[in-house]
Amino acid sequence: MVYKKAPNPSGDVPDASETPGHQFGPAAKERRYTGIGSSKGFAIGEAHEFVQEIIDHEIAELNESNIEEEIERFQAALNRSEKELKKIERVTTRKIGKLYSDLFQAQIMLLNDPVLIENITRRIREELKPAHLVIEQEFEQYLGNFIHSDDQIFRERAADLHDIKERIIRNLHIRKLHSWVPEGTIVVSHHLSPADIILLSRSNVKGFATDTGGKTSHVALICKSLNIPMVAGLGNFSQKIGSGMPVILDGTEGVIITEPSEQTIGEYQQKREDVIRREADDSALAHQNAFTRCGMRITVCSNIDFKEEIEHLEPTGSEGVGLFRTENLFLDDLKPPQESVQQEYYLEMAEMLSPKPLVIRLFDIGGDKLIYSPVKEPNPNLGWRGVRILIDVPEILDAQLRSIIKANVHGNVDLMIPMISSLEEIEHIKERLEHHYKRISEASHETIYKPGLGAMIEMPAAVELIDEITSMVDFISIGTNDLTQYTLAVDRNNLIVQDLFEKFHPAIIRQLYRIISTAQKNRCRATLCGDMGSDPLATPFLIGCGLREFSIVSSDIPALKARVANHSITECEALAAECIKLSSPQAIKARLEVFLKEH
């Protein structure tokens, strides 16, 4: 067997945005590369190119005499892979808790999947194919449903499956797991798995930069928990850098600077000191209620994916959960979780939070990933997803509604509908909620609270119907990520057009003003749960539109509370009225930047 360096990504992957830096001396070679800021923070140091080795297999024919030996190699590879994952799971639990170590427990469960093992073993024996080839083919069947998905959650599932496949194949050849890098370096790689991040973090790395990935990947979430800055989505950046090259990594803005000048290094050292000082100031306000300078109360809640996150909310000053994404319950075994499992999960969350609110988003799942879908859709983002599936597959909807109602024993649970595009969709969910609530309350011997009903505003169609929608529901929640994507027809995960994904586009700004002001007029609560809620530039504009509730990443809450205290309603309203008249993103951002400097 021969080992060789992993090939560079193909030319169809676009380069990271690259611009020459300022020339501060005759030898200056500073260059800047723009990617996606996946984990905030700054790192200054030397790059280390981390290259995954791949195996150049010798395709050998099997015969009756060596079939059993090949099967034994496969079983031994599974055993070695399980030992590795258990070690990584222990390290993860020790570093950042059980929430993320469960990722590796899920991989261990797949390694022990009797159907997968039996299929591979049978095919080796019947088809006389080497183990690595059968493993490749079997995993391709799993990966096919996920790898080209438009849904980030399912692409993450594909990345996990790919990691398992590569681990088993590597262990077929008893190849030692490569997890060492020089202490204190900035690791650059084409791709990194969650296991890579955990193991490499033991070398006190300063930051990570990858050609692939995005903001919501498991890798990004782990980096955030480890407080290690990361820039992802850099195209073919790993081809352009060598170990030992001096770099600055800016995970906040999503920028990599190679061979920085002394002046640039000084600027980033100052930025880092400013951030440390500001975070200390913000943390002092975290446990206080947020008020504007003129005394208006602003509520700030958290977006979460797992119940284990709840125990970490209090230190951030979170006032509850404004968005619980339930898709991870669905993904455990690729079929809807049982009603009893859902009820127990939601009930535990509600009790942990009470009396603080828990807003549960109904399953936002896409048609190309489900056994219910008769065809593979060419564009699932514009296909069978979200509320459309819930209506067409009533057993999923009804089980989730019943479990949410039964879990609302403290009266602090609300639910909201994803991907609304018509009034009929809301009417249908409303009717099913009333139906189940009536039956459950009549059969119960104790008080049953009906959850409040909310609608996600994520599509231009919902914006056009906002007057009617805000008259039909208890609250709305604005998903600015999808609203921007659908309004501008730009996939935010597509490297080719990601620079066109502009949340300060005049169309988005005007939609937000219309949505929030209409909700206010109709006395309908409005909250915002997209990335825009964490953006300092957006805060005064959103308050000026009339927004009084935010739901954001928990770690961003102290900073948001601190910013709120700098603004008055009158000033923010004047700013919002001015911004909706501007005709370009550049003009809008320039005005917001001036406002922040003045306040």
Q: What is the pLDDT along the chain (599 residues), one digit of tens a residue?
A: 333 333 333 333 344 445 444 333 334 589 999 998 999 899 999 999 998 765 555 556 677 788 899 999 999 999 999 999 998 888 888 887 776 777 788 788 888 888 889 999 999 999 888 999 999 888 887 676 565 555 556 666 677 788 888 889 888 886 666 667 899 999 999 989 888 999 899 889 999 999 988 776 788 888 988 889 999 989 889 998 889 999 999 999 999 999 999 999 999 999 988 888 887 777 777 889 999 999 999 999 999 988 888 988 988 999 999 999 998 787 545 578 899 999 999 999 999 999 999 999 999 877 444 444 555 666 666 778 789 999 999 999 999 999 999 999 999 999 999 999 999 999 999 999 999 999 999 998 888 899 999 999 999 999 999 999 999 999 999 999 899 989 999 876 666 776 788 999 999 999 999 999 999 999 999 999 988 999 999 999 999 999 999 999 888 999 999 999 999 999 999 999 999 999 999 999 999 999 999 98
Q: What is the pLDDT of residue 2?
A: 31
Catalytic, out of 191, 218, 505, 567: 218
For residue 125, the SS3 value is helix
Q: Which CATH architecture has domain 2-52+179-268?
A: 3-Layer(bba) Sandwich (3.50)
CB atoms < 10 A from the CB of 342, how many? 24
Model pTM?
Answer: 0.73
Residue 481 assigned to a binding site: yes
CA gyration radius for the chain? 25
Residue 482 assigned to a binding site: yes
Residue 113 assigned to a binding site: no
Catalytic, out of 301, 529, 545, 572: 529
Q: Residue 478: in which H helix or E strand, if any?
A: strand 475-478
For residue 82, the SS3 value is helix
CATH topology of domain 290-598: TIM Barrel (3.20.20)
The tokens of 428 are what?
């249908």
Place of tokens 């977006």: 303
Among 50, 37, 96, 16, which Cα is nearest to 230's? 37
Residue ranges covered by each domain of the chain: 2-52+179-268, 55-172, 290-598
Task: Give CA–CA dist 542/559, Å, rounded.
Answer: 16
CB distance 386 to 421 below 8 Å: no
Mutual orientation of helices 67-96 and 98-111 as an angle, nearest 10°?
170
DSSP of 408-433, one letter per residue?
Answer: -TTS-EEEEESS---HHHHHHHHHHH
Q: What is the pLDDT of residue 380?
A: 66
In CATH terms, 55-172 corresponds, of 1.10.274.10, 2.20.25.10, 3.90.960.10, 3.90.230.10, to: 1.10.274.10
Q: Residue 477: in which H helix or E strand, if any?
A: strand 475-478
For residue 303, the SS3 value is strand
Question: Cα 205 vs. chain centroid, distance in angstroms?
Answer: 22
Place of tokens 């095919």: 123
Among 566, 462, 589, which Cα is nearest to 518's? 462
Q: What is the pLDDT of residue 525?
A: 97
CB distance 177 to 84 below 8 Å: yes
The tokens of 362 are what?
């109904």
The tokens of 429 are what?
């969910």
The residue count of the chain comes to 599
For residue 552, the SS3 value is strand
Among 444, 467, 453, 371, which Cα is nearest to 404's? 453
CB atoms < 10 A from the CB of 214, how many? 20
Alpha helices in 322-373 (DSSP H): 327-331, 339-353
Q: Give the angle 302-395-409 at the CA atoms, nearest 5°.
A: 45
CB atoms < 10 A from the CB of 209, how many? 30
Residue 12 assigned to a binding site: no
Q: What is the pLDDT of residue 558?
A: 92
Residue 325 assigned to a binding site: yes
301 is catalytic: no
Q: Residue 223: in which H helix or E strand, if any?
A: helix 218-226
The tokens of 518 are what?
């209409």
Q: What is the pLDDT of residue 13?
A: 39
529 is catalytic: yes
Q: Per residue, what are the HEC states of 5-65?
A: ECCCCCCCCCCCEEEECCCCCCCCCCEEEECEEEECCEEEEEEEECCCEEEECCCCCCCCC
Task: Give CA–CA dist 392/402, Å, rounded.
Answer: 17
